[in-house]
């Protein structure tokens, strides 16, 4: 994989993807900035007064106010083909969920642009638009509206949503009496009621109990089989390898601004390539797989050294057993020999398990 100065790793051609496919998503050098000003503004009057005060602030004070500006992401660029499954990886706080909210239209980027072709089904914060005072039935329409579904569309899919959520008996109960698992199940059922062109999954495959998780995974897989484009956020490298074609890795780093000469900290794209290679980089970065950059020959060589060390230890113990039997009386020899034999057996067992892994 090759590196450049802006976006980390340039992806190599993936033989599983047809380069002639049309683009489903184009993310072009996006960045988003938030203001972390601790001042509380509860109404327009306070906002107006603080704006006037800020206009008459000293230059130093205005500069201090700028320090509250916080770049969550910057210089993120990638393209997703129709039918492609892209994994998005990174440690907590890197900006993965923020990126998905920009793509979904929840946030507007401060810089750059996002071009989307088709209908998006964002499975982000399930139930974020629910109201506890309304019943489950009323929240289906409310949450569906926040996802961009029309009332007519919800009415067509209402029975399907209720059946999938397995909450038919609770549709007339206020949502404040639902458990967190029930809310998540209802949210998942509503979010997946659409036939999307782009499916966004932000670690939502662990919804509900084991039975419902299996059901939700089957629902998502059925969407995969229809050729839907997928953006999949996960910390599970094995899951990303199994589900995704390509992947990106986002990491929060301190970068020197060449124009101002100041250090800036933000989430940036540091790896972009096939899912196998990016997952290897992620595991190496997080310390899960410290030997990720070793070749198979090197790994077998290390294992061979371990086998030799255990074999030598067993031989040395056996020799000490024989010497102990010769030098000590019969009673003590049997006792010491039994203890050392137990240690020797444990080492032999470890050797056998190691050989099985080889």
Q: What is the pLDDT of residues 157-169, one digit of tens each?
A: 999 999 998 899 9
pLDDT digits (tens, 9 = 90+) for 94-142: 889 899 889 988 889 999 999 998 888 777 766 667 888 999 999 999 8
> Coil, helix or strand for 222?
helix
Do residues 15 and 246 make contact, with C-beta atoms less than 8 angstroms apart? no
Phi/psi for 137 (5° steps) reads -60, -45
Q: Binning pLDDT at 50, 70 and 90, where does residue 253 land?
A: confident
Q: What CA–CA distance (Å, rounded) separates 235 from 229?
A: 20
Average pLDDT in the chain:
76
Unique residue bearing structure tokens 């038919």: 168
Cα-based distances in Å from 342 to 64, 326, 349, 356:
69, 19, 11, 21
Q: Does the CA dihedral 4-7-9-14 come out positive or negative?
A: negative
Which helix (H) or strand (E) segment holds residue 250: the answer is strand 246-256
Cβ-Cβ contacts under 8 Å for 121 (sequence gap 6 or more): 147, 191, 192, 194, 196, 198, 199, 200
CA proximity to 116, closest of 108, 128, 104, 100: 104
Q: Are 351 and 304 in contact (CB under 8 A)?
A: no
Distance CA 284, CA 300 (A): 19
The pTM (predicted TM-score) of the whole model is: 0.65
Output the CA torsion sign for 8, 18, 30, 281: negative
Residue 43 has pLDDT above 90, yes or no: no
Two structure tokens written together for 207: 């919804």
Q: What is the mean pLDDT of residues 52-63?
A: 59
State yes or no: pLDDT of 7 exceeds 60: no
User: What is the pLDDT, as a whole number, of residue 4?
Assistant: 37
Identify the band that residue 217 occupies on the pLDDT scale cut at 50, 70 and 90. confident
3-state secondary structure of 40: coil
Q: How confident is the model at residue 6 (pLDDT cuts 50, 70, 90)?
A: very low
Backbone conformation region of residue 148, classed left if phi is above 0, alpha if psi is from -120 to 50, else beta: left
């Amino acid at each position: 994989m090759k590196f450049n100065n802006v976006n980390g790793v340039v992806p190599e051609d993936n033989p599983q993807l047809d380069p002639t496919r049309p683009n489903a998503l184009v993310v072009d050098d996006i960045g988003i900035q938030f203001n972390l000003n601790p001042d509380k503004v509860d109404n327009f009057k306070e906002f107006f007064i603080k704006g006037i005060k800020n206009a008459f602030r000293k230059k130093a004070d205005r500069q201090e106010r700028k320090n509250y500006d916080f770049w969550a992401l910057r210089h993120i660029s990638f393209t997703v083909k129709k039918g492609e499954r892209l994994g998005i990886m990174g440690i907590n706080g890197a900006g993965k969920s923020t990126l998905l909210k920009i793509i979904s239209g929840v946030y507007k980027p401060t810089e750059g642009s996002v071009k989307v072709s088709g209908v998006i089904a964002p499975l982000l914060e399930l139930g974020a638009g629910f109201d506890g005072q309304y019943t489950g039935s009323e929240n289906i329409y409310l949450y569906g509206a926040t996802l961009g579904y029309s009332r007519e569309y919800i009415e067509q899919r209402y029975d399907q949503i209720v059946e999938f959520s397995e909450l038919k008996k609770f549709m007339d109960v206020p949502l404040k009496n639902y458990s967190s698992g029930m809310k998540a199940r209802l949210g998942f059922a509503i979010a997946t009621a659409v036939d999307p062109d782009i499916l966004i999954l932000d670690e939502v495959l662990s919804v509900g109990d084991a039975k419902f998780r299996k059901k939700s995974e089957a629902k998502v897989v059925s969407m995969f089989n229809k050729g839907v484009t997928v953006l999949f956020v996960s910390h599970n490298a094995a899951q990303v390898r199994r589900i995704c074609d390509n992947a990106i890795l986002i990491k929060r780093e301190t970068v020197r601004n060449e124009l101002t000469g100041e250090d800036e900290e933000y989430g940036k794209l540091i790896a972009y390539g096939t899912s196998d290679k990016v997952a290897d980089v992620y595991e190496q970065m997080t310390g899960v797989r410290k030997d990720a950059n070793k070749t198979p020959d090197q790994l077998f060589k290390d294992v061979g050294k371990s086998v030799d060390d255990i074999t030598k230890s067993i031989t040395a113990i056996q020799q000490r057993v024989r010497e102990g039997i010769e030098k000590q009386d019969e009673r003590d020899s049997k006792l010491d020999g039994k203890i050392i034999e137990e240690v020797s057996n444990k080492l032999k067992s470890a050797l056998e398990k190691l050989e099985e892994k080889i």
